[in-house]
Structure 1
Amino acid sequence: MGERDWPVAEIIGTERLLLEPLRVDHAEELAPLLDDPALHEYTGGSPAAPEQLRERYRRQAAGRSPDGGEGWLNWVVRHRDTGDAVGTVQATVRLDGDRPVAELAWVVVAPQQGRGYAGEAAAGMVGWLAEQGIAALVAHVHPDHRASARVAERLGLRATDELVDGEVRWAAP
């Protein structure tokens, strides 16, 4: 897998969820759901205004960094039965030598937290990544964010001693 042939996000189904490839027009739907300071408690920053989210999604939906050195895979997570957006998952893929490595992230909107959606969505994404030949995984989790640590554990990642911007690096053993 070279710089020019990153995988393209596809629809992924899990038992309760559908992961839908991110589009710019998702910003209108997601902006009010993500407009919650509590979602930034462990990640920093603040909620994005709809126009900021549209611009972020425009960049992310391109599927790769401007220099082609990273593949950007982003999904909106929807509940299968209702179609409601419950969060997002993403994988930033880069090469470590010849080996593709995916850095994972997940967010579940506050009213939907505590139902296992982050773990289920992330596991679905990881399964899809494996089908694309991407098995090396990392994530960065705030040391006090137990729910995200449990998701990382579910994915088979283990906490390392490395801190990156105040977050613990998790990696496959």
Structure 2
Amino acid sequence: MRTISSERLIMRPWDVDDADFLFDLESRWETVRFLGPQAKPMTGRSEAVESIIRRRTIDDPVHGLWAISSRESGELFGNILLKPIPFSIDVEGEAPVEIGWHLHPDAQGAGYATEAASAVMTDAANNGLRFVIAVTDPLNAASPRVCERLGMRSLGVTEAYYDEHNLLFEKTLSR
């Protein structure tokens, strides 16, 4: 998986050495509560190691799951993904590509999600992706604001993904 950089950030493949951070990030209910109906906090470091191993199997010129880190210090801030999103059970068609993110509480509010997502979308456009969506929980106030800052267009409420009501955003990408 490739590395993507921006002014302040590096989006890089997860490494097993990141397991303590990932466990800290995803053992918090406030971090995982908006990650879909099946989301639950990690209960052991071994879950983080297993998750990192799965993330590292993605070998795609566009899609990925990256660790977000400081360009200056290497400090980890969170996770960003770009991957096909499966439709809910009763929806058919080609799965669109979803962009999503979640940050450690200590890293929220500094513009990292917007900066990381912008860099990942630019990279994806340069690699041929033309369209991306974001799906956010209606109770998640922060992610729709990130979508707006990214220039994504709100399409309202949808049940097409994750078998639940979500807010849907879309963006056409250009090189």
Bucket of the pairwise TM-score, normalised by the shorter protein? 0.7 to 0.9
The residue that corresponds to 2:131 in the other structure is 136
Aligned-pair CA distance for 1:20: 0.9
Alignment of 1:62-73 (within 5 A): 62-63=57-58, 72-73=63-64
In 2, Cα distance between the equivalents of 1:36 and 1:73? 23
Give the % identical residues.
25
TM-score (norm 1): 0.79
The residue that corresponds to 1:47 in the other structure is 41
C-alpha change, 1:72 and 1:52, in structure 2 (3 Å) is: farther
Contact 1:24 / 1:61 at 8 angstroms: preserved in 2? no
> Is 2:11 aligned against 1:16?
no
What is the letter of the counterpart of residue 76 of structure 1? A
Aligned-pair CA distance for 1:23: 3.2
Q: Which moved more, 1:105-114 or 1:38-47?
A: 38-47
In 2, Cα distance between the equivalents of 1:31 and 1:85? 12
Aligned-pair CA distance for 1:127: 0.7
**3-state DSSP of counterpart to 1:91:** strand
Alignment of 1:13-162 (within 5 A): 13-43=5-35, 45-48=39-42, 49-63=44-58, 72-93=63-84, 101-161=96-156, 162=158
Contact 1:72 / 1:90 at 8 angstroms: preserved in 2? yes
In 1, Cα distance between the equivalents of 2:4 and 2:154? 27
In 2, Cα distance between the equivalents of 1:170 and 1:24? 33
Runs of 4+ deviating beyond 6 Å: none
Q: Which moved more, 1:123-132 or 1:24-33?
A: 24-33
In 1, Cα distance between the equivalents of 2:98 and 2:25? 24
Contact 2:23 / 2:47 at 8 angstroms: preserved in 1? no
Q: Which moved more, 1:135-144 or 1:152-161?
A: 152-161
In 2, Cα distance between the equivalents of 1:24 and 1:134? 29
**3-state DSSP of counterpart to 2:41:** coil
What is the letter of the counterpart of residue 83 of structure 1? G
The residue that corresponds to 2:89 in the other structure is none
**3-state DSSP of counterpart to 2:2:** coil
In 2, Cα distance between the equivalents of 1:58 and 1:41? 22
Give a deviation string over 1:133-167, Cα, whole Å, max 9, x none: 01210111011222100111222222223233222
Contact 1:60 / 1:72 at 8 angstroms: preserved in 2? no
In 2, Cα distance between the equivalents of 1:93 and 1:128? 16
Q: Which runs of 5+ in 1 are unaligned?
A: 1-8
What is the letter of the counterpart of residue 58 of structure 2? G
Aligned-pair CA distance for 1:89: 0.2
